[in-house]
Structures are given as C-alpha cells and as structure tokens.
Amino acid sequence: MSTTNIQAISQKQKNRIRPPKKYLVMLLNDDFTPMEFVVNLLMEIFHLSSTQAIAVMLLVHETGQGVCGIYQKDVAETKCLQVIKRATSAGHPLQCIIKEA
Ligand code: TYC
C-alpha cells in the first residue's frame, strides 16, 4: 500500500465522529451537611427516586464519595454548580466534583 493511501486512511480515522465523553458527578462526604438536605438535593437536581437518593446519600456518608449521575461535560458542570450553589446558600459545606468517566 502506498504512503499516500496509508495517510488517507489514518486521516479518515481521525475524522470519525466519536460519541462525546461522559463525566461522573460525585458528591463528597462531610460531617455537617444534614442527611435530609442531601437526599432532597439528589431528588431535585439528579431526579433520583427517594429510595435511590437515600442509597446514594448513605454510600457517600459511609465511603466518603458517591456518583449522583453521568452526563456530557456541560450538563455535569451545571449540575455540580447547582449543588454547590444550593449548599452554599443554605450554609452547608457540601462539595461536589466531576470526573471523566
Ligand atoms: N455525613 C453527613 C452527616 O452525617 C451526611 C452527608 C451525606 C453529608 C452525604 C454529605 O455528600 C454528603 N450529616
């Protein structure tokens, strides 16, 4: 195969449309934010059922962190900001981070 052909193929590979990367939105534990506040936030921002929200809150409480949802980057960043804004307004130190999946 000629070099030109190989270059054309590798250029084609580069041009292939890839699905967008996904990001985990993760809550971090602390000793001060009330459990009920975390559960409500998980239901309202991440649309979890009350059973799912309690399970995620307890996982974070017991292990230090837990995944609330997996989204494209812009959505993950927005949800993370919503969590921090809501916690800060209520005077809680709750922290939220995003990680590439
Ligand atoms: N550890 C907190 C408490 O005992 C509850 C809590 C759960 C806080 C999850 C933050 O992301 C969190 N009140």
What distance in Å separates the CA atoms of residue 31 and residue 60, rounded to the nearest whole number? 11
What range defines the domain where residue 29 resides? 19-100
Task: Answer whether residue 7 is part of any domain.
Answer: no
The CA distances from residue 21 to 2, 8, 61, 101, in Å, are: 34, 26, 28, 7
pLDDT tens-digit series, residues 22-62: 999 999 999 999 999 999 999 999 999 999 999 999 999 99
- CATH at 92: 3.30.1390.10
| Domain assignment of residue 88, yes or no | yes
Residue 13 lies in a domain: no
Spacing, Cα 73 to ligand 1 middle (Å): 25
Pocket test for ligand 1, best of 31, 33, 67, 92 (most atoms within 8 A of CB): 33
Evaluate whether residue 49 is within a structural domain.
Answer: yes
Q: What percent of the chain is modeled with pLDDT above 70?
A: 86
**Pocket mutation for ligand 1, best pick of 26, 32, 35 (most atoms within 8 Å of C-beta):** 35
Judged against a pLDDT cut of 80, whether residue 12 lies above it is answered with no
Residue 28 lies in a domain: yes
- What spacing in Å lies between the alpha carbon of 57 and ligand 1's midpoint? 7
- State how far the Cα of 4 lies from the Cα of 17, in Å rounded to an integer: 22
Domain count, the chain: 1
Rounded-to-integer distance, Cα 31 and Cα 92, Å? 10
- Residue 71 lies inside a defined structural domain of this protein: yes
In this structure, the residue with its CA closest to atom 4 of ligand 1 is 31
pTM for the structure as a whole: 0.86
Residue 6 is assigned to a structural domain of this protein:
no
Domain assignment of residue 47, yes or no: yes
